[in-house]
Structure 1
Amino acid sequence: MGANGLWLWAVAATLLLLGGGGSGGVSGVEAGRVLSIFYFSGRSHFLVIETLLKELAKRGHQVDVVSHFPQKKPLPNYRDFSLAGSYPSMVNHWTFEQLQNFHFLKLMTWMWEENVEICRKVMEHPVMKQLAESREKYDVVLVEILGSDCTYGYAYKVGAPVIGITTLVGLPWGQDRVGNPDNPAYVPGALLPFTSQMSLWERTLNTLGQLYAVWGEKLRGRRLNDLLLREHLGADMPSLSELIERNTSLVMVNSHFSLNGARPAVPGYVEVGGMNVDPNPGPLPEPFRSFLDGAGAAGAVLVSFGSLVPGEKLPPKQLQAFLKVLGALPQRVVWRVNASRVPGGLPRNVIGSTWIPQQALLSHPNMRAFVTHGGLGGTHEAVHWGVPTVTIPFFSDQHQNGFLMQQHGAGRVLQFDDITEDSLRQALHAVLNDPSYRESAKRLSEQFRDRPQEPLETAVWWTEYVMRHRGAPHLRSAAVGLSWVQLWLLDVGAVLAAILAMLATILWATVSTFTNCLFSKAKDRASKTNKAKRK
């Protein structure tokens, strides 16, 4: 090969390297430094963000992750800073009775107070102390918007813009970070059991709930966080409200309009619902593959209540109802349950396991229904694969997720306290034997998948956008800088009221003067007439 040929090959190789070599390289932005701080010990929450972090590392960015869930095997460009042991894991941590008692007001108190205590434990960990003293610089910090915003203090320390990610749908106190409208007339609160189709009474409760959540977080949650941040990061730490307003560039929300309904959104409010869904989950491992392959025309049912509560912790009454109903089904059943702890064992058509490859199971062509607690991750997976659901919600957003599936005709909701053999049998019989549920699930799946970009690609693109521009406050609306008096137009209302009052005063004075003149003239005429008569 001559010199010209070698030169051309060198140019081609250089262009290929600069182009990133496809999806595995850095696209549209130089390799950046990403810090993600995840204080919460909920595995299902972390899985959503972990998908994005791994993809960023795969594309060449250096990703430093502070979490309770370090990788089992090291990944290129992905560096773990483990918080394991600083706070008990939420995996298999709860009982059904505990979750049932988590009503809205108690959940809000848990968000504001218990999450601050979780942060307090986490901030005492050597990793967090090291981070507070670190002089490393980052291009962006990814944090979860949940109960506590203590992670904003560390973003301030490293001098980087913040991307907030809600692993639930948009929380009420996450909207004003980018100035996003949040009208309770048609936008249901994320932690309330409503959809966009609300009655008058439901809209009333939704409005009160939203106001309570927003102002409780501002007046209670942020005050507790301020004390915590100044205790651990210095008395000169700005207020949390100031940090949120100054540093937030973008909010990613784990929702999609096909399921959650349309709502107004500023550019800085980006829906990435389904980011956790793997469109290619791979082959099923044994024994699940053989079990589902042999299910035949009747198909199979998946039963899982997520990572918080294993199936064997069902109260005796509900556990017996499940055993009898599932055992009588013509379908084969995969259940996330420890079979050795189920009295009498599992029916012959049921296979139990403490770990299940949920996405691969839902993607199997023989899967006919999913009995779930209504966690958002599992709901998105069911929607993506077009599997109808029977949702048995316990707390948080699970009620709303179940009702959304029911509203779309793709599922049924069964309240935990209402579980009997008859009610469980009827719910399963409906979604398994009424073809409308499967048809609705398939239609919803098509709408959920039909996007200009895959949700993970959307999340990556916007993360790199914030890095390219060294922060992106221009994505937020001007509402971020307005007080609640200005935002609700109370000042404008006061001006208009003053103008109306002034006009009313002028009108009253004018009418009074005119009326007095008329009465005065009439009185004078009457007086003259009376005098004339007397003469």
Structure 2
Amino acid sequence: MGTMLLHRGIFVFLSVCLISFTPPCDGGNILVFPVDGSHWINMKILLEELHARGHSIDVIRASNSWYIPEKSPLYTSITIEINEGFEDFFDVYLQEHMRAQREGASALTFLKLTKDFLSMIAHAHSIWSYALPQILDDEIMVKSLKDAQYDLVLTDPAIAPGVVLAKYLKLPLVLNVRWITSGEGHFVIAPSPLSYIPVPGSGLTDKMTFFQRVKNIFFYGIILFQQEFLVGPVYDAMCEKYIEGGCDIISLLQEADIWLFRSDFVFEFPRPTMPNVIYIGGFQCKPAQPLPADLEDFVQSAGEHGVIIMTLGTLVNALPKEVANEIASVFAKMPQKVIWRHKGERPSTLGNNTLIVDWMPQKDLLGHPQTKVFVAHGGTNGVQEAIYHGVPVLGIPLFFDQYDNLLRLQHRGAGKIIELADVSGHSFEQGINEVLHHDSYRQNMQRLSRLHRDQPMTPMDQATFWVEYVMRNKGAPHLRTEAYKMPWYSYYGLDVLLLLLTIATVLLLLTFAMFRFLCCRARRSTKSKKH
């Protein structure tokens, strides 16, 4: 017993010594240029972790920001005055988008939705193109940013003034990314053969027929059009004014040191990638916490039938009235209890088993053993949280990447899609019962959950490690390819192919000329002998 206590005392002493002599981890200075809305939810989770690790954070925000508060214990704000609101513009787009979808699929509807989407995106970029000069034309502001001695810029490149600012300040750049100015980030950083890599918006998987490949190329053309004529010129003007020698936004993105990519290959289709792309899909997911007492009582009252939860994310308060009534009438007939985040007009067909809430603890409900099905719009956060907790999904995609997200679950047998145009009492009842009562949906989703969790490091640990890696090493250029600096014909080897074809053609012509010369000479020699 005495020996054991002695050994324990020695162990404690050595542990204290080791801790005492461990070099302190100096906190870094991080300049953050986020994107508002649901993108901020992701960024804030990462900032919470970086703040807990002792880093000092400054956040650039708009004066009329939706979600990014000016006062926060996590960061110091740098507020830019923006008079034009984007929220009202987005609400109008969303209502028009849902109305057009309910009218049914047609070429005219597709063209209208595409036009409205491109117009909204161009409007968002133009707002920030007028806002960024407030920083760069302000000598006092620029001096304070330089004097702050930031270690890096962390930004979400869906809107890209943060990328331009990093170039201007000559700072290492880390992207918290899935979407860039012109679509999905992989398409500008890694080889992306369109024969098996579906373009967002195409509604395709990695297994395509000939005509689906034609469709895929068409959608890629829309992305190129968006970048070349709508988004690119906005940032080209910024680059020409503020960046010595000029630049373009795609090249600036390709110069980024690290891409923290909010996806992984449990969710995404396999594809080529690059060394500086770090996959952190599901980094926001955590084990479920206990529910508030009243909500726990409601959940437990469901008994063996369990609970269905439904939410359409932070940007959509309510579905069209007739759709909400159809869904509510189906819920009213079911033995399950339902928790539905719905802020619109209360459905007239609502049953006693359905609890309408303005907000729900989504992560904690998804992790509750009573939750059987998640009815969702297909936002990236919700889909990844459903994977983490192993809850099958019935999806009603509304806009942006939501259909593509849900398609990946449906392709793996872990979810089912009902498009908004097809939602009726019959289709919704059929869909919810299929996901609820066919065990394959839950089994497939739980398999995805096991795969997602089977990693040597958590996605959040990956994210913070690589942010700090860039700080320690003043960037990560050794992980970044320089291929983007090559002209397109060199990148695809067309100049080499042309040289080889030229040499082969010359050799072939020389050989032909030599045979022709020898034949003609032999013919003349034969004629001379005859004479």
Question: Normalising by structure 1, what TM-score?
Answer: 0.84
Sort the Cα spacing of 1:14 and 1:47 in 2 relative to 1 into closer, same or farther, 3 A. farther
CA contact (8 A) 2:275 2:480 kept: yes
Partner residue in 1 for 2:26: 30
Sort the Cα spacing of 1:88 and 1:161 in 2 relative to 1 into closer, same or farther, 3 A. same
Distance apart, 1:30 and its partner CA = 2.6
SS in 2 for 1:509: helix
Sort the Cα spacing of 1:145 and 1:97 in 2 relative to 1 into closer, same or farther, 3 A. same
Q: Tell which deviates more after alignment, 392-401 or 515-524.
A: 515-524
Query: Which of 13, 16, 20 is equivalent to 2:19?
Result: 16
CA contact (8 A) 2:71 2:77 kept: no
Distance in 2 (alpha carbons) for counterparts of 1:212 and 1:319:
33
SS in 2 for 1:378: helix
Query: Which of 41, 50, 75 is equivalent to 1:47?
Result: 41
Deviations 1:407-448 (A, max 9, x none): 111011111111111111111110000111111111111111
Query: Which of 397, 403, 413 is equivalent to 1:399?
Result: 403
Partner residue in 1 for 2:495: 491
Q: Does 2:325 correspond to 1:320? A: yes
Distance in 2 (alpha carbons) for counterparts of 1:228 and 1:37:
16
Distance in 2 (alpha carbons) for counterparts of 1:380 and 1:445:
9
Distance in 2 (alpha carbons) for counterparts of 1:487 and 1:119:
33
Sort the Cα spacing of 1:247 and 1:489 in 2 relative to 1 into closer, same or farther, 3 A. closer
Partner residue in 2 for 1:387: 391
Partner residue in 1 for 2:172: 161
Partner residue in 2 for 1:329: 334
Partner residue in 2 for 1:81: 78
Sort the Cα spacing of 1:18 and 1:181 in 2 relative to 1 into closer, same or farther, 3 A. farther
Distance in 2 (alpha carbons) for counterparts of 1:396 and 1:176:
17
CA contact (8 A) 1:36 1:65 kept: yes
Partner residue in 1 for 2:453: 449
Aligned residues between the structures: 502
Distance in 2 (alpha carbons) for counterparts of 1:444 and 1:487:
37
Distance apart, 1:497 and its partner CA = 2.0
CA contact (8 A) 2:129 2:234 kept: no
Distance in 2 (alpha carbons) for counterparts of 1:424 and 1:248:
44
Distance apart, 1:496 and its partner CA = 1.9
5+ residue gaps, structure 2, are: 1-10, 102-108
Q: Tell which deviates more after alignment, 508-517 or 483-492.
A: 508-517
Q: Tell which deviates more after alignment, 479-488 or 135-144.
A: 479-488
SS in 2 for 1:257: coil
Sort the Cα spacing of 1:156 and 1:168 in 2 relative to 1 into closer, same or farther, 3 A. closer
Partner residue in 2 for 1:253: 261
Amino acid at match of 1:80: S
Distance apart, 1:455 and its partner CA = 0.6
Query: Which of 236, 242, 260 is equivalent to 1:226?
Result: 236
Q: Percent identity?
A: 27
Amino acid at match of 2:19: L
Query: Which of 289, 314, 320 is equivalent to 1:307?
Result: 314
CA contact (8 A) 1:301 1:371 kept: yes
Distance in 2 (alpha carbons) for counterparts of 1:257 and 1:70:
31
SS in 1 for 2:257: strand
Distance in 1 (alpha carbons) for counterparts of 2:523 and 2:120:
69
Partner residue in 1 for 2:128: 119
Distance apart, 1:229 and its partner CA = 5.1
Q: Tell which deviates more after alignment, 394-403 or 371-380.
A: 394-403
Q: Tell which deviates more after alignment, 471-480 or 197-206.
A: 197-206
5+ residue gaps, structure 1, are: 1-7, 21-25
Partner residue in 2 for 1:5: none
Distance apart, 1:344 and its partner CA = 2.4
Q: Tell which deviates more after alignment, 64-73 or 329-338.
A: 64-73
- The alignment yields a C-alpha RMSD, in angstroms, of 3.2
Partner residue in 1 for 2:515: 511
Query: Which of 301, 304, 308 is equivalent to 1:297?
Result: 304
Query: Which of 420, 424, 440 is equivalent to 2:428?
Result: 424
Higher-RCO chain (CA-CA 8 Å, sequence separation at least 6)? 1
Amino acid at match of 1:53: L
